[in-house]
Structure 1
């Protein structure tokens, strides 16, 4: 969900833009990267919309400010369901607030990359770092691989001192009513996750068996992590690796199943960006070692050898959007609600 700071930022920035007449620059200055940097310093600020973990986004902000002290980075953290319509509205009206958009919705990524309607081409030098593997990491010279979420089995160690070895361990009768799941409403990636369960974890009735456990339903994986830590639930198949919770002393642990489901984040520089040069600088920074170190705690990294990364983002493919059309997502949601919510 959007926090109060994020809402205030949107409101303030919207007023500023409207006061300037609502026009949006079309792209960065022509010239060298040094020219882009100089123009970015003149712009003095940049805004990121992202669905990534807020603590990682805060680390990104700190690292970016250290490298580019003349450019103030602000981020607004929300779900794809919240952020994608904002990006579409800003593009349609020409009244931009965001400069860079970091998104995990596979259908939105694929369709927007194909259309080119929301983005400008990236120009930063970091994209040509051989370790970034540009050919496998950039779509249509606009969307660039930034991170990946890899999902784990998680448990509360007080409730389950022996942990979970396989997804089938979730079906212990003692866990009935104590398993946490995410509501897929509006989330194409979560629909893909449930479909992955059916196709990869034993029998094709995995989701029906999961529904029969009378699970508690949460709006996001972050909510599930909090519920595990508090003991509200005992186990889940839908949580990101709990590195920060374990480091903080929470009574939780996690393990990656084989195979594990994941989904990548791609980012793009918005054509409605009010700070088009600073947007390019931020985009470039996000795929440097410093940027990836900030973003990769508990996530897949787009560069090799990043500390506390749990996977390589290039190994996590975009889901096949043929199974994630609005009609199919709606059908799945209807079936899911009948099974999980009664």
Structure 2
């Protein structure tokens, strides 16, 4: 990559420049259509350098476009885009939760890639401006040294008395992965507002024995380090642990796992509009989706994309579809209800 800027989010929001290397270009990696674009593309992204290194240099090589990347957290980048509405600096936001895009519809240019129709219907661009490219699902991570003969195949299995105090979960009010687990549980156990589902949540809280993980990473790390037997986490970092040889395994609840998309969108008024559209098309090509599936630990959005052998085939996982619009509209109420229930069950 010719330029790679890292956004340091401090009082002055200083920018520092860092280089990144290009991976080998895969066979037949050029997407269909005119690849003779030139010029520049400015990308804001919360994504990891590993993901960026798998995409940006190849896009530059394929199209002859110079890409400038500015990285920071999603919330900070959204604020920056809002402050630059009258004179946008970036062309693309690459990454972030679907809900964060939907909550700010005035920031995005309408564009639906011709390749969007190749995605599963649940992840297609129905808003007119949100393009899904990878998916991340809620999972259970289990320490294989500690599990013994305890069966963990489902959410229901977490209510085994032998697991009391040995389950790691974050706070849905502050942790995005814990909130995703909460809504996954509610949907899987009867519905977001059903008494049966919330009754299960209460029983699970009692199993936590008052322990709350400090954040998303604390959940899977506590399991990998042998502090907890099982954790309610998300697939990406847990699959990385499996790939790297940790003695843990992933369990996909038999009641169903929700997969949520990471999203990309064109910033309204982008100065390099043609290149921005090419980038959206590019990340949906089978070639790039295969790279996501074989070099990363996120799920490619394209169902037919290849995945590495350390990833369980999606066909072997029971999946359920979240009502993302409803959940986004009721997020605060759900988190508050959980917090109140947790507090009421402490002795």
Alpha-carbon shift at residue 287 of structure 1 (Å): 0.8
TM-score, scaled relative to structure 1: 0.72
CA RMSD of aligned residues (A): 3.9
**Counterparts of 1:53 and 1:165, CA distance in 2:** 31
- Does residue 110 of the first structure (1) align with residue 102 of the second (2)? yes
**Counterparts of 1:190 and 1:89, CA distance in 2:** 30
- Asked if 1 retains the 8 angstrom alpha-carbon contact of 2:220 and 2:233, the reply is no
**Counterparts of 1:181 and 1:98, CA distance in 2:** 37
Distance 1:159 1:63, change over 3 A: farther
Alpha-carbon shift at residue 8 of structure 1 (Å): 6.8
Q: 1:68-87, aligned counterparts within 5 Å?
A: 68=63, 70-72=65-67, 74=69, 76=71, 78=73, 80-87=74-81
Alpha-carbon shift at residue 207 of structure 1 (Å): 1.8
Q: Which runs of 5+ in 1 are unaligned?
A: 15-32
TM-score, scaled relative to structure 2: 0.71
Alpha-carbon shift at residue 217 of structure 1 (Å): 1.6
Quick one: higher RCO (CA 8 Å, sep 6+), 1 or 2?
A: 1
Q: 1:257-336, aligned counterparts within 5 Å?
A: 257-258=253-254, 259-271=256-268, 273=270, 275-296=272-293, 297-308=296-307, 310-311=313-314, 316-321=321-326, 324-325=329-330, 327-329=332-334, 331-332=336-337, 334-335=339-340
Alpha-carbon shift at residue 303 of structure 1 (Å): 1.7
Q: 1:114-125, aligned counterparts within 5 Å?
A: 115=105, 117-122=106-111
Partner of 1:30: none
Q: C-alpha deviations, 1:139-178, integer Å up to 9, x for none?
A: 3432222222121121111111556222233233343333
Alpha-carbon shift at residue 197 of structure 1 (Å): 1.3
Q: C-alpha deviations, 1:55-96, integer Å up to 9, x for none?
A: 434423354345345423536253x545443443343x6353
Q: Which moved more, 1:282-291 or 1:244-253?
A: 282-291
**Counterparts of 1:136 and 1:199, CA distance in 2:** 18
Equivalenced residue count is: 307
**Counterparts of 1:334 and 1:238, CA distance in 2:** 18
- 51, 60, 81: which one aligns with 2:55: 60
**Counterparts of 2:205 and 2:282, CA distance in 1:** 43
Higher helix share: 1
- Does residue 96 of the first structure (1) align with residue 89 of the second (2)? yes
- Does residue 209 of the first structure (1) align with residue 209 of the second (2)? no
**Counterparts of 1:336 and 1:154, CA distance in 2:** 25
